[in-house]
């Protein structure tokens, strides 16, 4: 039976919670406590006593709920409302100057005000508050979705469970970094060692590992901290005009923010801050691997927008990586998913930047020769950007007698296909693209992709299972799959297996251009595949061509011609293509069309915004089929910009340059004419 609480108890419980949270903020965030430990404990016990008498009054934002709850079996998945993006990195002054120049040119201003802050070495987190109460916390994950770590975050004392301030938002999403202060990390490792438990390599790993504990009681014992660095959602309050004001707004809500943040003018202001933080780095209580520059004005941030998985308005300027000496035991060759052969130095294990290194990239053949790295050499290694291990230089005086000069193999170490290095390319590549095991997953994924054979439901995880379990050994094997071959795989059942087999069957009817593109020939993209299909019309004619004939196709130069000849000269490639045709992959074959006779020949198009009558991909196909050329950016060479809703900066640039702008209806009329 629920015991009703008298008004004075409700008032007392509210006052205790407010007082305890204020004490926590002063102690953990401001490092300026105003009460003794005994006084704090007295208040905390008083609150516990009242809540034990009236358990129905316990709320998720009560300070007593920070101590850890029930252990979880697994974290649930949270899809982020807005993607948690990465930042582009700069490792030298020129990259920073280029960033500032691009920003000024895009905004058409002479100087830019930047908000600057340390780049903490921790784990990114998203916090959501509704009506001022913390309701969800999620890791970055893959950027689109992360793990629900709400119960663990409730144990982090610097993070308020309930916001306080003059104006509490109806909804607030905060992004920030969970980290572990340096001294706390040292003390944690001392305790771990004393108990005979695992000692953490660095504070970043300790913070990330603590955040992902299935038992929040363990997280509660770890000295985690937090700094907010951005606001991803706000309702019920007016959004500030600048990043600086936004961070101050969060601070007013008692959300921890980095005290070392600042605002500077222009690129010289950025360098001055970088230098200042480089000097202060060792004395600061937290680890940092660089500094972050952000355009301060939020309207300007919006105007600059994003590219790929990073904002155009921000940049991470990394500190120089740590270095160490070790010995190269062997130079191995790794074959990547695109067929690139990468020399890798197998090292005598060495501890660098908090991590034990056993391998380091040598990038490519030219780099090995430029640095003259040989097996047996003593080398200086570093973690480039504090992440990727690389060999910096050789200590020549320590070179053993008879150390052999490195030579790139002429045959792929995985499939024994010929190794080819095209002119003007730094990477040597295996030519067995459709059958080399190292490239197979990438080849199948590309073959099945939407712009290629468009096999719905055949994603990376399923492809990995099919290959790892040797269900398929090349792309032609896809067309031999039966329901019983795939229904036993993880996350598959008879219905999903049947849908996949039907999608594979449907993909047999395609176009010549799609088929050429699906083969994944090096340097042959969609536009080139379309040009080849229009020029040759028949697959046999395409396969029988030489470099001279290929170069007679508009826009096909020596590099693409060489790629085509090398691809079709592989006997196993021709065999796989033969098997694909035998299994029913087909398209409408006809006479070759002279590109110059097509209605949109010689015209350059750019797409922007959301079209209403067709998808952007359909529009691209229609334009290409009519001889038009597609481009990703607007220039004086652009003839038409096809704009849908929310067109963005491309539309504005087209208007400035006086370029004709069409909607999709106008595009259809142009195609008909």
Q: Where are the domains of the chain?
A: 7-58, 89-318, 323-438, 440-506, 512-582, 595-672
Residue 307 buriedness (CB in 10 A; 0-12 / 13-18 / 19+): exposed
The CATH class given to the 595-672 domain equals alpha beta
Calculate the alpha carbon distances from 228 to 231, 250, 255 in Å.
8, 8, 7
CA separation for the pair 244, 257 (Å, rounded): 11
Q: What's residue 37's pLDDT?
A: 57
Residue that the structure tokens 């039976």 belong to: 1
CA distance 124 to 177: 5
Calpha distance 306→311 (Å, rounded): 4
Q: What fold does the segment set 440-506 form as a domain?
A: DNA polymerase; domain 1 (1.10.150)
CA distances for 33 relative to 26, 45, 77, 164, angstroms: 5, 19, 38, 18
In this predicted structure, what is the pLDDT of residue 602? Answer: 77
Check: CB of residue 545 under 8 Å from CB of residue 564: yes
- DSSP code, position 55: G
Reference 219, options 137, 177, 156, 158; nearest CA is 156
* CATH architecture, domain 89-318: 2-Layer Sandwich (3.30)
Catalytic residues: 119
Q: What does 593-625 look like in DSSP terms, one character per residue?
A: PPGGGSTTTT-EEEEESB-SSS-HHHHHHHHHH
Q: Give the pLDDT confidence score for residue 646 in this predicted structure.
A: 78
Q: Is residue 258 within 8 Å of residue 177, measured between CB atoms?
A: no
The whole-angstrom separation of Cα 493 and Cα 505 is 18
Same fold, 89-318 and 512-582: no
Residue pair 509/587 in contact (Cβ under 8 Å)? The answer is yes
In 108-149, which ranges are continuous DSSP H helix? none
Closest CA to 670 of 634, 635, 640, 629: 640
Residue keyed to tokens 């009817």: 509
CATH classification code of 7-58: 1.10.287.610
- CB 134 within 8 Å of CB 59: no
Structure tokens at 480: 């031999």
Q: Which of 281, 293, 295, 286 is nearest to 317 (CA)?
A: 293
**Lookup: tokens for 563:** 């790629």
Q: Is 573 within 8 Å of 433 (Cβ atoms)?
A: yes
The three-class DSSP label of residue 79 is: strand
How far is it, in rounded angstroms, from Cα 443 to Cα 436?
Answer: 9
d(CA 549, CA 414): 32
Token pair listed for 497: 């297996």
CB 20 within 8 A of CB 44: yes
Whole-number Å distance between alpha carbons of 138 and 127: 7
Q: What is the pLDDT of residue 591?
A: 46
CB of 394 within 8 A of CB of 379?
A: yes
Gap between the Cα atoms of 181 and 398, Å rounded: 40
**Averaged pLDDT in 10-residue chunks for the chain of 673 residues:** 68 83 66 64 76 76 62 76 88 93 95 96 92 93 86 91 91 95 88 76 82 83 93 93 96 95 96 94 89 97 85 92 87 89 93 81 90 94 70 91 94 92 83 91 92 92 91 94 91 90 95 94 87 88 92 85 92 94 88 59 85 79 79 85 84 89 87 77
The DSSP line for 98-115 is HHHHHHHHHHT-S--EEE
Q: What's residue 1's pLDDT?
A: 45
Rounded to whole angstroms, the maximal C-alpha distance in the chain is 93
* Four-point Cα dihedral 120, 121, 125, 130, nearest 10: -30
Vertex 58 angle, CA 56 and 64, to 5°: 150
CATH superfamily for domain 323-438: Nucleic acid-binding proteins (2.40.50.140)
Stated pTM of the model: 0.51
169/178 Cα distance (integer angstroms)? 23
* Both tokens assigned to 389: 């291990």
Structure tokens belonging to residue 422: 């095209």
- What pLDDT does 73 receive? 59
- How many whole angstroms separate alpha carbon 433 and alpha carbon 474? 10
Q: Which CATH architecture has domain 512-582?
A: Orthogonal Bundle (1.10)
Q: How far, in Å, are 108, 110, 635 from residue 657 at the CA level?
A: 16, 22, 8
Query: In 3D, which of 435, 425, 454, 304 has the Cα closest to residue 366?
Result: 425
Taking the C-alpha atoms of residue 124 and residue 127, their distance in angstroms, rounded to an integer, is 10
Supply 204's token pair.
């970043």
50: its two tokens: 């009242």
Alpha-helix runs per DSSP H in 114-265: 150-153, 182-194, 203-211, 216-220, 243-252
- What are residue 36's phi and psi, to 5 degrees? -75, 165
Q: Are strands 314-318 and 113-120 parallel, antiparallel or unpaired?
A: unpaired
């Amino acid at each position: 039976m629920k015991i009703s609480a008298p008004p004075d108890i409700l008032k007392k419980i509210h006052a205790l919670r407010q007082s305890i949270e204020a004490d926590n903020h002063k102690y953990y965030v401001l490092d300026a406590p105003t009460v003794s430990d005994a006084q704090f404990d007295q208040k905390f016990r008083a609150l516990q006593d009242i809540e034990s008498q009236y358990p129905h009054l316990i709320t998720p934002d009560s300070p007593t709920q920070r101590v850890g709850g029930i252990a979880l079996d697994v974290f649930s998945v949270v899809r982020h409302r807005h993607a948690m993006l990465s930042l582009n990195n700069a490792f030298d002054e020129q990259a920073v100057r280029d960033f500032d120049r691009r920003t000024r040119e895009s905004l058409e201003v002479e100087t830019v005000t930047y908000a600057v802050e340390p780049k903490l070495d921790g784990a990114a987190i998203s916090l959501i508050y509704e009506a001022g109460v913390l309701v969800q916390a999620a890791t970055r994950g893959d950027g689109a979705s992360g793990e629900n770590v709400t119960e663990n975050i409730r144990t982090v004392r610097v993070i308020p469970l309930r916001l306080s301030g003059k104006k509490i938002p109806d909804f607030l999403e905060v992004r920030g970094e969970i980290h572990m202060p340096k001294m706390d990390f040292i003390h944690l490792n001392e305790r771990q060692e004393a108990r005979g438990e695992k000692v953490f390599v660095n504070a970043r790993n300790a913070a990330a590992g603590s955040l992902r504990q299935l038992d929040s009681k363990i997280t509660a014992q770890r000295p985690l901290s937090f700094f907010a660095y951005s606001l991803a959602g706000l309702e019920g309050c007016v959004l500030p005009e600048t990043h600086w004001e936004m961070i101050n707004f969060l601070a007013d809500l008692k959300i921890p923010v980095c005290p070392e943040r600042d605002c500077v003018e222009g690129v010289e202001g950025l360098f001055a801050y970088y230098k200042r933080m480089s000097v202060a780095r060792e004395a600061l209580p937290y680890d940092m691997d660089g500094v972050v520059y952000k355009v301060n004005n939020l309207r300007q941030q919006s105007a600059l927008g994003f590219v790929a998985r990073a904002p155009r308005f921000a940049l991470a300027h990394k500190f120089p990586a740590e270095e160490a000496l070790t010995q190269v035991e062997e130079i191995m060759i790794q074959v990547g998913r695109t067929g690139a052969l990468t020399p890798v130095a197998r090292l005598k294990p060495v501890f660098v930047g908090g991590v034990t290194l056993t391998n380091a990239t040598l990038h490519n053949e030219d780099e090995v020769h430029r640095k003259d790295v040989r097996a047996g050499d003593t080398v200086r290694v570093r973690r480039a950007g504090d992440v990727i291990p690389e060999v910096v230089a050789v200590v020549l005086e320590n070179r053993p007698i008879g150390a052999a000069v490195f030579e790139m193999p002429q045959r792929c170490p995985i499939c024994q296909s010929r190794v080819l290095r095209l002119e003007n390319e730094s990477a040597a590549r295996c030519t067995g693209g459709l059958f080399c095991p190292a490239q197979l997953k990438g080849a199948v994924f590309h073959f099945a992709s939407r712009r290629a054979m468009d096999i719905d439901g055949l994603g990376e995880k399923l492809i990995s299972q099919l290959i790892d379990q040797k269900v398929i050994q090349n792309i032609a094997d896809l067309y031999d799959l039966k329901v019983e071959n795939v229904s036993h795989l993880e996350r598959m059942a008879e219905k999903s297996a049947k849908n996949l087999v039907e999608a594979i069957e449907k993909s047999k009817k395609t176009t010549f251009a799609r088929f050429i593109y699906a083969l994944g020939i090096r340097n042959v993209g969609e536009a080139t595949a379309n040009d080849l299909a229009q020029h040759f019309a028949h697959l046999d004619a395409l396969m029988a061509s030489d470099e001279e004939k290929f170069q007679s196709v508009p826009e096909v130069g020596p590099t693409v011609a060489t790629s085509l000849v090398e691809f079709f000269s592989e006997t196993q490639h021709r065999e796989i293509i033969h098997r694909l045709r035998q299994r029913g992959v087909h398209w409408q074959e006809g006479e070759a069309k002279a590109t110059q006779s097509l209605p949109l020949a010689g015209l350059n198009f750019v797409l922007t915004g959301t079209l209403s009558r067709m998808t952007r991909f359909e529009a691209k196909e229609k334009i290409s089929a009519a001889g038009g050329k597609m481009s990703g950016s607007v220039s004086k060479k652009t003839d038409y910009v096809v704009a849908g809703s929310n067109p963005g900066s491309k539309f504005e640039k087209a208007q400035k340059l006086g370029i004709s702008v069409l909607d999709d209806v106008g595009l259809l009329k142009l195609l008909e004419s």
